[in-house]
């Protein structure tokens, strides 16, 4: 059985609670456990998985299908393979189409699907500004329009070095500030310190 992502380009790779691939048309596939080029990725090595999945950015999905046992297989750029097998107690993968319709592989390979919702749920807009004190980093993304997103619906639009991901994701903001060079708003710098001790230095695209 096919997923409708054939010949679609990978636009972003995201990490929150799961590792996800997003395509140019807005469709996405989230994985709780997955194998990419022989590397098994689950909740214990998500940051290693994020770095491995980052190599998919810009590649086109050649094929995406799942079988009656819930095993999902994808091929990208004619060479890179991604395989997600069922898990015993939790969902393995979830495909969400651009219209909101869903296919999910539940525990032990039970595959279920739902049509697009009649009334899509409104999503609070995520805006680029300094996060509030106590806000938690809830998502990292790399690829097109990379960002660090926070629980207060703010984000910083930049490509975080992926080796720093473990110091950022799920950490809370302990301080945030901005400064201008000579009072020039075109050269405003933001500084965000996290509970891990990691400090993000950032110059916004527009302020």
pLDDT of residue 52: 93
22 forms beta bridges with: 12, 28
Inter-CA distances, 85 with 22, 34, 55, 92, 124, Å: 19, 7, 21, 7, 33
Angle at 193 between CA 188 and CA 32, to 5 degrees: 115
Its pTM stands at 0.90
In contact, 40 and 33? CB cutoff 8 Å: yes
Q: What is the pLDDT of residues 90-112, one digit of tens each?
A: 999 999 999 999 999 999 999 99
Residue 144: strand, helix, or coil: coil
Angle at 66 between CA 138 and CA 143, to 5 degrees: 35
Quick one: which H or E segment has residue 139? strand 137-143
pLDDT of residue 207: 45
- A 10 A CB-CB count for 177 gives 10
Answer left, alpha or beta for residue 180, where phi above 0 means left and psi between -120 and 50 means alpha. beta
pLDDT of residue 145: 92
39 forms beta bridges with: 36
pLDDT of residue 80: 80
Mean pLDDT of each 10-residue bin along the chain, 207 residues long: 93 96 96 93 94 94 94 90 94 95 95 89 85 97 96 94 95 93 68 97 75
pLDDT of residue 68: 92
């Amino acid at each position: 059985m096919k997923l409708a992502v054939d010949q679609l380009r990978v636009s972003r790779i995201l990490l929150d609670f799961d590792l996800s691939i997003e395509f140019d048309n807005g469709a996405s596939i989230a994985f709780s456990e997955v194998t990419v080029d022989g590397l098994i990725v689950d909740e214990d090595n998500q940051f290693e998985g994020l770095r491995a999945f980052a190599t998919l950015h810009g590649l086109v999905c050649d094929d995406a299908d799942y079988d009656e046992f819930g095993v999902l297989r994808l091929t990208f750029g004619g060479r890179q393979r991604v395989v997600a097998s069922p898990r015993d107690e939790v969902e393995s993968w979830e495909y969400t189409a651009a219209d909101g319709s869903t296919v999910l592989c539940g525990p032990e390979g039970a595959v279920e699907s739902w049509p697009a919702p009649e009334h899509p749920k409104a999503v609070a807009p995520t805006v680029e500004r300094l996060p509030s004190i106590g806000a938690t980093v809830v998502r990292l993304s790399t690829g097109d329009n990379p960002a660090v997103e926070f629980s207060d619906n703010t984000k910083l639009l930049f490509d975080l070095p992926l080796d720093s991901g473990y110091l950022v994701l799920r950490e809370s903001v302990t301080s945030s500030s901005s400064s201008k060079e000579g009072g020039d708003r075109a050269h405003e710098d933001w500084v965000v310190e996290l509970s891990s001790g990691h400090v993000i230095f950032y110059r916004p695209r527009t302020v």
